[in-house]
Amino acid sequence: MDISNETKFLMKKYNIKANKSLGQNFLVDGDIISNIVKSAEITENDVVIEIGPGLGTLTNELLKSAKKVICIELDKRMIQILQDRFYLFSNIEIINQDVLKLNLNEITEKEGESIKIVANLPYYITTPIIMKLLEDRLNIESITVMVQKEVANRLCAKTGTREAGAITYSIEYYTIPNKLFTVPNSSFIPMPNVESEVINLKIRKEKNQDVIDEKKLFKIIKYAFMQRRKTLINALQNTDEGKNKEHVKEILSKLNLDEKVRGEALSLNDFINISNLI
Ligand code: SAM
């Protein structure tokens, strides 16, 4: 049975209607699924954490390549299907939880080395999930995920360009990002309104030694992008760090940056230098 028919069969058998508010768009293109698994470079030594396995279509392929697959799924209806579908597999663990509320460090510490995240993410919480995966500083190798195309463009943009947003700096700080391939709407049941893209984020294992205060760095970036059309000096004027305009001006001049520069024109290194001096 092809994946599209299999998906329809499972949905009928379990009386499932896709829940839009949970971002349920099920992948039904076998080539795309193989490509995701291939791009994630899963080997038999890897533990994969899959977020939102849904009906288990991607899970099925992951189970063939990985040492173990840990599935985290919020929708109880899917848990029953996954348990029925994979009852013969000894290398699967199914967790019925909201990934945003889960202590992922506990899981990764238990599993040890060589952990990779793979997912067709629920689009309504793409950013919080990715930020959680990065900020929790999990001991993982990589994140290979399908996201909305626009989000992929932003996440993988070059910092200092128009396509970048505050999150682009976090991505560059924690990872080496790569856009892999585009996925058309027709690869899903039901079809989403947007095109999708698979991206790979390779985790930087070493902490950036140049940064004195991470919290301050990301606070400055956040403020710079909250009003991205303003100059950096003006965007920071209501913050503890930037209220002394003269001080910020001096720092910019020390760093050979124009005093009228906007945050969106700055590289991650520029922000690091500024936050270290402020
Ligand atoms: N992996 C399946 C596939 O590719 O066909 C389903 C992907 S679907 C885009 C997203 C999945 O994430 C759904 O199964 C949904 O129930 C699940 N999900 C939504 N919110 C979640 C949350 N907070 N924690 C864990 N899973 C969630």
Which of 67, 69, 44 is closest to 59 using CA atoms? 69
pLDDT at position 244: 86
User: Do both 23 and 136 map to the same domain?
Assistant: yes
Note whether 102 and 170 are same-domain residues.
Answer: yes
Ligand 1 binding pocket mutation candidate from 4, 14, 16, 26 (most atoms within 8 A of CB): 26
Task: Report how many domains make up the chain.
Answer: 2
- CATH number for position 268: 1.10.8.100
The answer to the question of residue 57 being in a domain is: yes
My answer on whether 130 and 11 are in the same domain is yes
Distance from C-alpha of 26 to C-alpha of 272, rounded to nearest angstrom = 41
Instruction: Tell me, yes or no, whether 67 and 144 share the same domain.
Output: yes
Side-chain-side CA neighbours of 129 within 13 Å: the count stands at 23
How far is Cα of residue 87 from the mean position of the Cα atoms in its chain? 29
Q: Is the CB of 53 under 6 A from ligand 1?
A: yes
What pLDDT is stored for residue 15 in this prediction? 97
Examine the domain organization and report whether 184 and 225 are in the same domain: no
Q: Are residues 92 and 8 in the same domain?
A: yes
Domain boundary among 141, 176, 203: 203
CATH number of residue 189's parent domain: 3.40.50.150
Q: Does residue 171 lie in a domain region? A: yes
Do 166 and 250 sit in the same domain of this protein? no
Q: Is residue 242 part of a domain?
A: yes
Domain final position from 203, 228, 245: 203
Question: Ligand 1 in contact with 54 (CB < 6 A)?
Answer: yes
d(CA 102, ligand 1 centre) in Å = 15
Choose the residue to mutate in 16, 73, 189, 196 for probing ligand 1, maximizing ligand atoms within 8 Å of C-beta: 73
Structure confidence at residue 228 (pLDDT)? 85
Query: What backbone torsions phi and psi does residue 237 show, to the nearest 5 degrees?
Result: -65, -25
Q: Which residue minimizes the CA distance to atom 20 of ligand 1?
A: 22
Phi and psi of 32, rounded to 5°?
A: -65, -45
What is the per-residue DSSP string for 22-58?
A: GT--EE--HHHHHHHHHHTT--TT-EEEEE--TTSHH
The verdict on the CB of residue 75 being under 6 Å from ligand 1 is yes
**Helix 166-174 / helix 214-226 crossing angle, nearest 10 deg:** 150
Range 129-165 burial, b when 16+ CB lie within 10 A, else e: bbebbbeeebebbbbbbbbbeebbbbbbbebbeeebb
What is the pLDDT, as a whole number, of residue 207?
87
Residue nearest to atom 14 of ligand 1 (CA): 54
78 and 14 in a single domain? The answer is yes
Q: Which of 203, 234, 263 is the last residue of a domain?
A: 203
Is 144 a domain residue?
A: yes
Find the domain containing 240 and state its range. 214-277
What is the number of residues in the chain?
278
Nearest CA to 55 out of 172, 188, 170, 194 is that of 188
Q: Is the peptide bond before 190 cis (omega within 30 degrees of 0)?
A: yes
pLDDT one-digit tens code per residue, 208-257: 899 999 999 999 999 999 988 899 999 998 888 878 888 999 999 999 99
**Which residues make beta-bridge pairs with 119?**
145
CA of 146, closest atom in ligand 1: 9
Q: How far is CA 204 from the centre of its chain?
A: 14
Classify residue 48: in a domain, yes or no.
yes
In angstroms, rounded to a whole number, what is the distance separating the alpha carbons of residues 119 and 48? 10
Domain assignment present for residue 208? The answer is no
Gap between the Cα atoms of 189 and 26, Å rounded: 5
DSSP structure string for 98-152? -GGGS-HHHHHHHH-S-EEEEEE--GGGHHHHHHHHHHTT-S-SEEEEEEEHHHH
Same domain, 75 and 177: yes
Nearest CA to ligand 1 atom 8: 24
Q: Do 143 and 259 belong together in one domain?
A: no
Instruction: Establish if 196 belongs to a structural domain.
Output: yes
Ligand 1 close to Cβ of residue 268 (< 6 A): no
CA 107 – CA 94 distance, rounded (Å): 12
Each residue's pLDDT tens digit, 182-209: 999 999 999 999 999 999 999 999 888 9
22: in domain: yes
In the reported structure, the alpha carbon of residue 7 is separated from the centroid of ligand 1 by a whole-number distance in angstroms of 15
Q: Mark whether 250 and 113 lie in a shared domain.
A: no
Integer CA distances (angstroms), 244 to 73, 155, 233, 239, 270, in order: 48, 32, 9, 9, 19
17 and 139 co-located in one domain: yes
* Residues of the chain falling short of pLDDT 70: none
